[in-house]
Amino acid sequence: MDHNDPSLALGKKTTYTDQYDPALLYPIPRCHKRHELGLTDDLPFDGVDIWNAYELSWLSPSGKPVVAMGEFRVPCTSPKLIESKSLKLYLNSLNQSCFADFATVGRTLADDLSTAVEAPVEVKLFTVNEQTDHFTNQLPGDCIDDLDISVDNYELNPSLLSEAANHDAIITKTLHSHLLRSNCLITSQPDWGSIVIRYHGPRIDPEALLRYLISFRRHNEFHEQCIERIFCDLLHYCHPEQLTVYARYTRRGGLDINPFRSNFETTVANLRLPRQ
């Protein structure tokens, strides 16, 4: 990704358009960051990036505004992801554009997003009064945030996991934390998230895991890239037979991004947390 690309809106003063324009979408190849992790086309995980859009609106044929919420599921096998500000600008471009009905908007979004990421994107739209999965949930498993640990490292350090695995104890466990914080790769703005780690294999020391997660506090990378890095580091240092890493990030600009990666689970619920 070229940070100086004039078509990249992130981190720059932007003129907002309210007329439908799919050219506003800015795809970013996944391969560059995956190469840093030693990943090839034969990925050690499957999964999806779940985007929730809370500021979605267009005009009906009579000119009356319609408001909605959207859920977009981008497969992690897609060659590209979409830069978040460009998605916000694209969705804003619907605001003064007329569409026949919800179905037409849904097909338009699915076509445009699928073209951008070069893979099928699943789109669901909801009215604000519909009963959906967007109501507040709690993460599964044990929270590790109250562990009494001392921390003095806030720079990414995967070696904190080097002695985290106890190979004498093979267990199935689900842990979660709300202390994940990383930063935007371009603007360095903080990205706040909660994370679930579910595994079967050698017991992972929760204190070491928490220190490792906290070490992302000054790390600059997109949401999807951070979660793939966490998955690969846990696989490398802790050797679980089965592993799921699922993060729920807080929203920015009416969007939240929630990457899910697993080598044994195929479906995931779109859980909305209190901070979302």
pLDDT tens, residue by residue, 176-203: 999 999 999 989 999 999 999 999 999 9
- pLDDT, residue 136, reads 74
Q: Return residue ranges of the chain for CATH 3.30.1130.10.
A: 22-126, 142-262
Which residue type sits at 30?
R
Percent with pLDDT over 90 in the chain: 86
Which residue type sits at 236?
H
On average, the pLDDT of the chain sits at 93
Q: Is the separation of the CB atoms in 110 and 122 below 8 Å?
A: yes
| Measured distance CA(88)–CA(252) in Å, rounded | 9
Q: Is the separation of the CB atoms in 45 and 231 below 8 Å?
A: yes
- pLDDT, residue 15, reads 79
Q: CA gyration radius for the chain?
A: 19
pLDDT tens, residue by residue, 41-99: 899 999 999 999 999 999 999 999 999 999 999 999 999 999 999 999 999 999 999 99
- pLDDT, residue 170, reads 97
pLDDT tens, residue by residue, 161-177: 999 999 999 999 999 99
Active-site residue list: 184, 191
* Alpha helix (H) residue ranges in the chain: 31-36, 84-92, 102-117, 206-214, 223-238
Domain range 22-126, its CATH number among 3.40.50.2000, 3.40.50.1110, 3.30.1130.10, 3.40.50.1980 = 3.30.1130.10
Residue 4 has pLDDT above 60, yes or no: no
Cβ neighbours around 6 below 10 Å, total: 7
Structure tokens at 159: 């070696």
| Measured distance CA(180)–CA(192) in Å, rounded | 6
| Measured distance CA(118)–CA(270) in Å, rounded | 23
Residue found by looking up tokens 């600008």 in the block: 89
Phi-psi region of 274 (alpha: psi -120 to 50; beta: other; left: phi over 0): alpha
- pLDDT, residue 12, reads 47
pLDDT tens, residue by residue, 239-275: 999 999 999 999 999 999 999 999 999 999 999 998 9
CATH topology of domain 142-262: GTP Cyclohydrolase I, domain 2 (3.30.1130)
- pLDDT, residue 118, reads 98
Residue 222 has pLDDT above 80, yes or no: yes
pLDDT average, residue stretch 213-222: 97
- pLDDT, residue 197, reads 98
pLDDT average, residue stretch 109-119: 98
